[in-house]
Amino acid sequence: MKKTFTLAKSHIYLLGSILITVGFVLGSIAQEKQKAVTQSMIAEAEKIIGLHFTEERRDSLLDEVNGNLGNYAEIRKIPLPNSTVPAFTFNPLPVGFTIPTKSSSFQTSTYQAVLPQNREELAFYSIGQLAALIKTRKITSVELTTLYLNRLKKYGNTLLCTVTLTEELAMEQARRADAEITKGKYRGLLHGIPYGAKDLFSTKNYKTTWGSAIYQNQVLNEDATVIKRLEEAGAVLVAKLSLGEFAMGDVWFGGTTKSPWNLKDGSSGSSAGSASATAAGLLAFALGTETYGSIVSPSTRCGVTGLRPTFGRVSRTGAMALAWTFDKVGPICRTVEDCAIVFKAIHGKDGLDASVYDAPFSYTPNVNLAKLRIGYVKELFENDKGYTTSDSAALTALRKLGAELIPIELPKKYPVGSLDYLIGAESAAAFDELTRSGKDSAFVQQHKFAWGNQFRAARFIPAVEYIQAQRVRSLIIEEMAALMKTVDVYVCPTTEGNNTLLTNLTGHPCVVVPNGARTDGRPISITFCGRLFDEGTVLAVAKKFQDATGFHLKRPPLVQ
């Protein structure tokens, strides 16, 4: 009996141990099921971030990961309109950099007030030429505004460059300009000059669509800072112009904006309508924005002149945010000096956009190229492309103007091309609600390179990797600062290499100007890059080249 009892007791102990073990396992399984994120999910997620943790470490971090989900849920309850900025501001200044403090000075060329027999010729006059006519009252702002409005109505639907005609406002502003000028109150070169604005700048009483069907009826009912400043300068807003949906490319809810040089081509983007309408003579100038090529690319495609200023030069208040550490506002015009005229009116602090620096802007067209250190990116000029001849001719033209060109290399120490996911992360945050709500299914484009997919993919960029990339960006800024100590301006083929991404990362200004055409007649461009906050010098150098070559005077076939 004793032996039997002992066996039974041992079985009871064994059974108890089994039950405890099973209970622990079942409890662990139940506990894991209660958590949104499990160890197995962490193991799979490690593949996305390129790391590997042990089971013990996965177990340790589970509570933190699941706790963060609750934090995310709380934050998502808070409405965050596109106008809400992050609590950080990008600083493009290298260590030791001092923002210029000298007084601003501004001098333009002298313009003759010659009224053409064919008034349609006025459509392709520069701002300076039009200003001379308006100031001397050889033509009124109302006449000029009517001319441009008629051209917008004639060609706008063909080019798909116009979202909204602001005709009522335009005629009101034009009449006011004429009345003021008649009374001797002349505001300056932009007084009475008609222009268009990329439809991501908010305007009172008119729609601001951001190029998206989702927002095609959105009225923000406030004027962006740049719109206010141009109104103060006396300019006349005639149209809100197309942009690729949410500032990508040239496809918007109204179709694909066309280049007036070839209607089979899109105008590129995202400042699609701004470049197309300016090239076609539908307005005197336009406002654009750039995050990564959105002024440079359409200016090239449409054969116009674009200025992308230094980061932090122009207020973005009232402009749709895409990527806070990249977005910049600049003009798209027919001439370099037109860009200088517009930039003078729109630059500077407004007390609202914390990213804007208080720095002077000085410009004069009277620059001696022989006294400047002008570099050229030797490697990019030697690439064997179909328009190498035009690129080489640009260098020849600069040398004839007295420039002693210095061969340079762009920074190569760090992987510039690997940092473009910074834009993806910021843009995904700017439009986070569309991704979480499923409204991204209403985007105009749905391919894998379109915003909807890009926003979703960006959700898998770890915050740590975003910050690490910004730290590498700081190193690139220092590299670029070292380069810019050796030159005042440098020139490079617009479409070659990674110069566009590089200078958008570092915040440097550039001017893109027409540089001839390809064999099929499509325009090409050349890019001049300058030092931080030194738009005046790079504009002056670009103007010398533009005046000597005259490519900007050619007109697209659509309007010849």
Residues with a catalytic annotation lie at 198, 270, 294
Q: Give the C-alpha separation, 481 to 495, whole Å.
A: 23
CA angle 194, 198, 203 (to 5 degrees): 75
Compute φ and ψ for 99, nearest 5 degrees.
-70, 135
Return the half-sphere exposure (C-beta side, CA atoms, 13 A cut-off) of residue 521: 12
Q: What is the CA radius of gyration of the chain?
A: 29
Q: Kind and range of the H or E element at 424?
A: helix 421-430
What is the 3 state secondary structure string of 161-228?
Answer: CEEEECHHHHHHHHHHHHHHHHCCCCCCCCCCCEEEEECCECCCCCCCCCCCHHHCCCCCCCCCHHHH
Of 504, 202, 503, nearest to 323 by C-alpha is 504
**Tokens representing residue 383 in the block:** 């690439």
Beta bridge partners of 514: 525
Q: Are 319 and 329 in contact (CB under 8 A)?
A: yes
Rounded CA-CA distance 487/451 in Å is 38
**What are residue 100's phi and psi, to 5 degrees?**
-55, 145
- What does the chain come to in residues? 560
DSSP secondary structure letters along 303-364: T-EEEEPPTTSB--TTBPPS-TTT-EEEEEESSHHHHHHHHHHHBB--SS-TT-------B-
Instruction: Sheet with 328-333: list strands edge to edge.
Output: 162-165, 236-241, 194-198, 285-290, 328-333, 305-308, 510-517, 523-530, 489-493, 374-377, 405-408
Half-sphere exposure of 472 (CA within 13 A, CB side): 19
Distance CA 504, CA 524 (A): 20
